[in-house]
Homo-oligomer: A and B are copies of this chain.
Amino acid sequence: MTETVPRPTLEAVAARAGVSRATVSRVVNGSDGVREPLAERVRQAVDELGYVPNQAARSLVTKRHDAVAVIVAEPETRVFADPFFARQLRGISKELTAHDNQLVLLLTEDRDDHVRVGRYLAGGHVDGALVFSLHIDDPLPELIQRAGLPTVFGGRPDFNGGRGGVSYVDSDNRGGARDAVRHLLGLGRRRVAHITGALDQTSAVDRHDGYRDVMADADPRLVARGDFTPASGERAMRELLGRHPGLDAVFAANDLMAAGALRVLREHGRRVPEDVAVVGFDDMLPIAEQTEPPLTTVRQDIEEMGRLMARLLLRDLDHTGTPEETSGARPDGLILPTTLIRRSSA
């Protein structure tokens, strides 16, 4: 391996510019109080030498790292079955980059990883954490919260986080579900069934609640339980058809299950949307566009969600913030609106 040339230090820049290290530091960090002619000379020296501050040295004294951890708990590896995760990451990355923060990615698989993550967080390598926890019984969120790091959750967590509540960003799952069902009703459908997601995730619970908001006194047999997988969508659809052959619409808690339902309906000779209208959730491309017929569904702005998570966290970290805005009347949760995307299935 080629031994890299030692990089220039503050000292070197100072020498070249004929000033003290302190002055260079001030210029580099944009603190005012250095007069223009001097500042310019320093900037030039920085350029000429290609000086880049040593982050380790800086952190050692400032105790800041300009880095945040993104923690993804994926016991079921479901996150990876869809492209959401990547989109969210992109949103986060953009926002972080814009504020010169680094993104440290922590993927957890099992229990061992939890202690590892806990230690890492406690180890003070990062200034804050962005956490995706999919399952309601996941101990990770509380564990992280306890590490005392500023944290923002992706998706509504199920615990209320002791004093002060937790901050999170989520899609309006409940409202989106209501829109979906109302759309079906607007189409003249009356026997609207629902295929739920895995009810150990708040998103599934919220979508189910949205369905019930609108279909308050529907036959409970119009609801079948799925787990977000295509296979579960097929299974649920069969179940539904069995116990309620007269149904004329289905709202599935995600597109994957809706696709499964579509297949089963076709198998049973039901035409979509003529006999049974179908609405999904997520607008997961390329699934939603590729089904037969293309899926009407509820879209969430997943990238924006990521961006907002980062923004919220950075605000917490902003040490320069005016006192009055720090810990002010800040909403704990930020809920992003969803949009109904009309295609041909409903």
A7 contacts B81, CB within 8 Å?
no
B119 contacts A52, CB within 8 Å?
yes
Residues of B within 8 A of A70 (CB): 105
**Which one of B2, B60, B67, B74 lies within 8 Å of A57 (CB-CB)?**
B60
Question: Shortest Cβ distance from A339 into chain B, in angstroms?
Answer: 19
Please give me the residue from chain B that is nearest to A112 by CB atom.
B97
Interface size on A, residues (CB 8 A): 61
A1 contacts B150, CB within 8 Å?
yes
A271 at the interface (CB under 8 A from B): no
A4 at the interface (CB under 8 A from B): yes
Map CB proximity to B onto A259-271 as digits: 1 under 8 Å, 0 otherwise. 1000100000000
A86 CA to B79 CA in the complex, in Å?
A: 8
Map CB proximity to B onto A278-289 as digits: 1 under 8 Å, 0 otherwise. 000000011101
B55 contacts A125, CB within 8 Å?
yes
A119 CA to B79 CA in the complex, in Å?
A: 32
Question: Shortest Cβ distance from A215 into chain B, in angstroms?
Answer: 28
**Which one of B60, B148, B263, B286 lies within 8 Å of A287 (CB-CB)?**
B286
**Which one of B7, B89, B230 lies within 8 Å of A124 (CB-CB)?**
B7
B230 contacts A55, CB within 8 Å?
no
Map CB proximity to B onto A105-122 as digits: 1 under 8 Å, 0 otherwise. 111010001001001101
A93 contacts B80, CB within 8 Å?
no
Given A1-B150, A256-B286, A286-B81, the answer on whether A56 and B52 have CB atoms closer than 8 Å is no
**Which one of B4, B148, B259, B316 lies within 8 Å of A148 (CB-CB)?**
B4
A327 at the interface (CB under 8 A from B): yes
Residues of B within 8 A of A263 (CB): 290, 292
Please give me the residue from chain B that is nearest to A122 by CB atom.
B52
A326 at the interface (CB under 8 A from B): yes
B81 contacts A107, CB within 8 Å?
no
Q: Count copies of this chain in the complex.
A: 2
Residues of B within 8 A of A120 (CB): 102
Interface residues of A in 48-83 (CB under 8 A from B): 50, 52-57, 59-60, 65, 67, 70, 74, 77, 79-83
Residues of B within 8 A of A54 (CB): 60, 123-124
Given A86-B85, A97-B116, A286-B81, the answer on whether A52 and B123 have CB atoms closer than 8 Å is yes
A103 at the interface (CB under 8 A from B): yes
Please give me the residue from chain B that is nearest to A124 by CB atom.
B7
A81 contacts B119, CB within 8 Å?
no
A55 contacts B123, CB within 8 Å?
yes
Interface residues of A in 203-256 (CB under 8 A from B): 230, 256
A90 at the interface (CB under 8 A from B): yes
Residues of B within 8 A of A125 (CB): 55, 102
Question: Shortest Cβ distance from A246 into chain B, in angstroms?
Answer: 27
A59 CA to B97 CA in the complex, in Å?
A: 23
Residues of A within 8 A of B (CB): 1-2, 4, 7, 50, 52-57, 59-60, 65, 67, 70, 74, 77, 79-83, 85-87, 89-90, 93-94, 97, 102-107, 109, 113, 116, 119-120, 122-125, 148, 150, 230, 256, 259, 263, 285-287, 289-290, 292, 316, 326-327
A-B pairs, 5 with minimum CB distance: A56-B59, A93-B107, A52-B123, A80-B86, A56-B60
